Amino acid sequence: MKLAFRVFVLSAVVAGAAAASVSSSPKHTLSSHQSATAGLPVPVCGPGMGCSSTTK
Amino acid sequence: MSVAEFALWATLSFLFWKKGLYKRFPALNTYLLLRMGSMPILLGLLYVYTQPWGHQYFPLYFYTYWAVYIASGITLFFVTLEIFRSVLSAFAGLMRLGTMVFRWVALVSAVASLGFVSYTHPGVSMIPEFALALMRSVSILELCLLAFICLCMNALQLSFKDLAVGFGLSLGLMSANDLIFVALETANPSLTAPLQFAYESGILIAVATWLVYCALPERMRKPVIMPANSTIYRWNEIASALGHGTKVAVQQPANGFFLTDVERVVEKVLTRNLQGNESKS
C-alpha cells in the first residue's frame, strides 16, 4: 500500500516537473485554482488598457 | 463544477475548524479564511462591474482580484513551510536546519520565476504577470515538498495516513494539475474543452483528498524510535549541535601585511635585546 502510494506520488511529481519545464514563461500560464480567486473571471488587462477579462 | 468546488472547500473549512486543526496549522487556517472570506466580496464586485452602469468599478475588481491572488500565493508559501515543519517535527535539529534551507530554496525559486516577468513596460499590466509568476514558484515549491515527503517517508517513519502527508499530497496534486494543464493547453489549443474538464476534475479530486484526510480520525503519532547509529539520528544530532549559540573567536586573515610584518620584526628585536641584556648582566 505504501509502495503504491509512493509510486503514485512520484508519478505526479515527475509529471508536474516535466510540465513546468515545458512552459516556463508566465505568459503560458493560467490563473491557478489554488488561489482564493478560483472560478472567477480573470481581469488580464489593467484599468484603461482596452480589454476586460477572460473566463479561464 | 465551480459550485461543487466551492462546496468542497466550504466543507473542508468547516471540518478543519470543527476539529481544531487551526491550532496545529495556523497558516492553513489563514488560507482557508482567505478563500472563504474573499469569495463573497469578489462575487459582489463582479456583479457590480458587469452591470451596464458598473464599468467604472472595473479597477476595483481588478485590484482586489490580484491582491487576493498575491495574498493566496504568499499564504500558500507559509502553508508549505508549515507542512514541511510538521513533517520534521520529530527531529528538532533537522527541522531548524531544514527550515533555513527551505527559505533559501524558496528565495531561489521566487527569483527564478520572477526573472521571467517582463519589466520593459512597468505599469499596471505587470501585476498579473507578477502574481502568476509568484504562484508558479509556490507551485514548484509544493511539488518539491511532495517529492521530499515521498522520498523521506521511510527515514522519517511517516505514515501515509499522517495529516501533514495528506495536506502535502493535496497541495502537490493541485500544483501538478495546474502545471500539466498549462503545458497540454499550450501544446494543443484545439483541445481546450476536454482539457478544461480534466483540469476541473483534477482539482476536485485534490480537494476531496484533502477533505478525506480532514474527515478521518487523526491517529496519534507514535514516538520515533531508531537505533543510535542510524544516519538520520546522527544528522539530527549534528543539526542540533549546530544550533547552539556558543561564541567562538574566528581568526581573520590579516589585512595590512606590511604593518603586521613590521610589528613582528619589532617584537623579535625587543625580545632579543631583552634576552641579550639579561645574559650580559
* Residue B262 grid coordinates: 613590521
Q: What percent of chain B lies above the pLDDT cut of 70?
A: 89
pLDDT tens digits, one per residue of B158-178:
888 888 899 999 999 999 998
Q: Which of B79, B144, B73, B30 is nearest to A29 (CA)?
A: B73
Cα angle: B208, vertex B148, B80; to 5 degrees: 55
pLDDT confidence of residue A55 = 44
pLDDT confidence of residue B1 = 59
Q: Is A41 on the interface with B (CB under 8 A)?
A: yes
pLDDT confidence of residue B208 = 93
CB nearest A26 (choices: B5, B66, B116): B116
Is the pLDDT at B190 greater than 90? The verdict is no
* Residue B103 grid coordinates: 527559505
d(CA B6, CA B36): 9
**B153–A6 CB contact, under 8 Å:** yes
- Which pLDDT band, with edges at 50, 70 and 90, does B238 fall under? confident
d(CA B6, CA B14): 12
Average pLDDT over residues B19-32: 91
Average pLDDT over residues B212-229: 77
Chain B residues touching A23 at Cβ < 8 A: 179, 182-183, 186
Chain B residues touching A49 at Cβ < 8 A: 124-125
pLDDT confidence of residue B169 = 93
Burial of B136 (0-12, 13-18, 19+ CB in 10 A): buried
Return the top range by mean pLDDT from B62-66, B154-158, B195-199: B62-66
Q: Is A20 on the interface with B (CB under 8 A)?
A: yes
The alpha helices in chain B, defined as continuous H runs, are 2-18, 26-49, 58-87, 92-114, 126-152, 163-187, 192-215, 231-243, 257-280
Return the top range by mean pLDDT from B105-109, B193-197, B257-261: B105-109
Q: Are A10 and B173 in contact (CB under 8 A)?
A: no
Chain A residues touching B38 at Cβ < 8 A: 36-37
**A32–B66 CB contact, under 8 Å:** no
Distance from the Cα of A18 to chain B's closest Cα (Å) equals 8
CB nearest A13 (choices: B2, B113, B150): B150
Distance from the Cα of A43 to chain B's closest Cα (Å) equals 6
pLDDT tens digits, one per residue of A7-55:
888 898 899 888 888 766 655 557 788 888 888 888 877 666 655 455 4
- Which pLDDT band, with edges at 50, 70 and 90, does A56 fall under? very low
pLDDT tens digits, one per residue of B271-280:
888 877 777 6
pLDDT confidence of residue B221 = 67
**B113–A26 CB contact, under 8 Å:** yes
Q: Is A51 on the interface with B (CB under 8 A)?
A: no
pLDDT tens digits, one per residue of B69-93:
999 999 999 999 999 999 988 888 8
In chain B, the residue whose alpha carbon lies closest to the alpha carbon of A29 is B182
* Higher-pLDDT residue of B217, B119: B217
The average confidence (pLDDT) of chain B is 84
**B146–A35 CB contact, under 8 Å:** no
Q: Is A8 on the interface with B (CB under 8 A)?
A: no
pLDDT confidence of residue B248 = 60
pLDDT confidence of residue B206 = 92
**A34–B139 CB contact, under 8 Å:** yes
d(CA B273, CA A5): 80
